[in-house]
Structure 1
Amino acid sequence: MQLKDKVALITGAGSGLGLATATAFAREGARVVVNDLREAAAEAAAQGLGEGHGAVGGDVSKEAEVAAMVEATLARCGRIDILVNNAGVPDSFVPTIEQPLSHWQRLIDVHLTGTYLVSKAVAPAMMRQGGGAILNLNSIAGVLGLPVRTAYSAAKAGIGMLTRVLGCEWGPHNIRVNAVAPGYILTPLTEGLIAAGRIDPARIRRRTPMGRLGAPEDIAEAMVFLASDRARFVTGITLPVDGGYCAFGAPSDAFALDDLDPRTDRP
């Protein structure tokens, strides 16, 4: 029960990594308020967590909706101890010169501006109550250069620097600001990209020292740690959770798929 009696607002938590994080936080004793652009999805996710949890709709890229979301959470719970900026939209995977400005703007608005707006709205309450923890979703795309992922990569790199700046600015208020950078995680979105032939899982596994794609729970557990008092002296960092993907730099495969046991899909 590492998060017992804490109140956590998690954006974009109707599915995927956000829902996995909400589930882990609830397990650890937190009272979770699930946000999603689709309010019905937020409500269904909150109900799935059990009694005592809540839901709130809202678009994180719209300042008025963010203010209403935060006010509703404070009115319901009285405080916000943890904020997880998870809301996001998928990338297009098309060459930069073929990407319309509207695509660039939407990804920047949701990922980067959304993280900024919700953090800014929650921080005053955290300052009044004496502290809190803000967790942002970066990505290996914000650390490494991934062709054709222009807007997504720029937004995620911006989140990495925003995390550092806010971690330094709000440290005196006992507000810790950290980020997690997931590698390739087997979510429904990733499964769809694999099915469409836009991601080659075998190639990813060969490039990943641990030889597999991650699970949503791998990200959720890192979030639990960073949100807990066990990370009380950690702020301003981006923690890669990627099976060693960002660390590997040799001009060869990181993992030999031939070494896998076909019965377990592990070495």
Structure 2
Amino acid sequence: MRHPVSAAFRLDGEVALITGGGSGLGLGMARAMHAAGAQVVLLGRRADVIEAAAAELGAGAHWEVADVTAYASIPELVARIRDRIGPISILANNAGHNFKKLAVDTSVEEFSGMLDTHVLAAHNLTRCVLPGMLEAGHGSILFTASMTSLIGMPGVIAYSAAKSAYVGMVRALSTEVAGQGVRVNAIAPGWIESAMLRKALDGDPARSSRILQRTPMQRFGEAEDIGLAAVYLCSPAAKFVTGVLLPVDGGASQGF
């Protein structure tokens, strides 16, 4: 099916569920998808944050309080969204957390918790949303991967393992459902200006300098950059794109 260029990057009629959608990269995705015509459902654990974010976006923005690691509650959540708003046709697996510890100091419990939040929670939510997409013969699933999916970084072994697992999940799932109208892709953000980045870099100008030196565009990205990439991957413009890991990093994964 051909789409006019003006419509190829639109998401009209889509219902997008975005985990971790109240701030940072998730909110960047929500803003861009909402602007492209989708109804967006922001999912998070902090009611005040996601309610405020949805209010900022206005009509067509919704919110749900949920913990993605409360696995047994997810089928009911998906059914509630379907009944309130409509079948979920876009899923952005974006929720997650990070901590910095050397491998020898990372406990089994800490490592397991990282995998729970990223890998198991994303799989569980995906498997609950996927039947509706397959029935409709239409859907797009996104995973927020990381620079650590592509290059080695010290002090984040659990996070690196979780984000690298996303790449395998995208490859396997994309081939499994491609013939049934569902596309599966991932975005690997570089260093994006955010409260999390500020927390990591404020007071450490040497680290900021090292990051910028290895980023050919010599600047940090913005949440909007991730949002616009997400719109593209979920839009008709990418109707022949599945199974890809798209770096949005100012060239950092290729730089020296």
TM range (shorter): over 0.9
Count of equivalent residues: 248
Corresponding residue for residue 179 of structure 1: 186
After TM superposition, the structure 1 = structure 2 runs for residues 27-38 of structure 1, keeping only pairs within 5 Å, are: 27-38=35-46
After TM superposition, the structure 1 = structure 2 runs for residues 151-166 of structure 1, keeping only pairs within 5 Å, are: 151-166=158-173
Q: Which amino acid aligns with 1:179?
A: A
Corresponding residue for residue 192 of structure 1: 199
After TM superposition, the structure 1 = structure 2 runs for residues 81-230 of structure 1, keeping only pairs within 5 Å, are: 81-91=89-99, 93-195=100-202, 197=204, 200-230=207-237
Structure 1: which 5+ runs fail to align? 251-267
Change (3 A) 1:155 1:237: same
Q: How far did residue 115 of structure 1 move?
A: 1.3
- Please tell me whether residue 16 in structure 1 is matched to residue 24 in structure 2: yes
Identity %: 38
Quote the Cα distance in structure 1 between the aligned partners of 2:206 and 2:162: 21
Identify which of 56, 62, 66 aligns with 1:54.
62
Partners of 2:173 and 2:184 within 8 A in 1 = yes
Q: How far did residue 113 of structure 1 move?
A: 1.2
Quote the Cα distance in structure 2 between the aligned partners of 1:68 and 1:53: 20
Partners of 1:14 and 1:45 within 8 A in 2 = yes
Quote the Cα distance in structure 2 between the aligned partners of 1:199 and 1:69: 44
Change (3 A) 1:196 1:121: farther
SS of match in other structure, 1:247: coil
RMSD (Å) for aligned C-alpha atoms: 1.4
Structure 2: which 5+ runs fail to align? 1-6
Corresponding residue for residue 252 of structure 2: 245
Quote the Cα distance in structure 1 between the aligned partners of 2:153 and 2:17: 31
Quote the Cα distance in structure 2 between the aligned partners of 1:78 and 1:173: 20
Q: How far did residue 199 of structure 1 move?
A: 7.5
Consecutive aligned runs of 4 or more in structure 1 exceeding 3 Å deviation: 196-199
Quote the Cα distance in structure 2 between the aligned partners of 1:162 and 1:36: 22
Corresponding residue for residue 3 of structure 2: none
Partners of 1:193 and 1:199 within 8 A in 2 = no
Quote the Cα distance in structure 1 between the aligned partners of 2:207 and 2:80: 42
> What do the CA deviations read for 1:138-168 (whole angstroms, capped 9, x no partner)?
0011111111110000000000110111100
Partners of 2:38 and 2:60 within 8 A in 1 = no
Q: How far did residue 41 of structure 1 move?
A: 2.0
Q: Which amino acid aligns with 2:37?
A: G
Corresponding residue for residue 261 of structure 1: none
Quote the Cα distance in structure 1 between the aligned partners of 2:211 and 2:198: 13
Corresponding residue for residue 259 of structure 1: none
Quote the Cα distance in structure 1 between the aligned partners of 2:175 and 2:142: 14
Corresponding residue for residue 263 of structure 1: none
Quote the Cα distance in structure 1 between the aligned partners of 2:86 and 2:39: 11
Of 16-25 and 43-52, more deviation after overlay is shown by: 43-52
Q: TM-score, normalised by structure 1?
A: 0.89
SS of match in other structure, 1:144: coil
Partners of 2:151 and 2:253 within 8 A in 1 = yes
Q: How far did residue 229 of structure 1 move?
A: 0.5
Q: TM-score, normalised by structure 2?
A: 0.93
Change (3 A) 1:205 1:17: same
Quote the Cα distance in structure 2 between the aligned partners of 1:40 and 1:74: 23
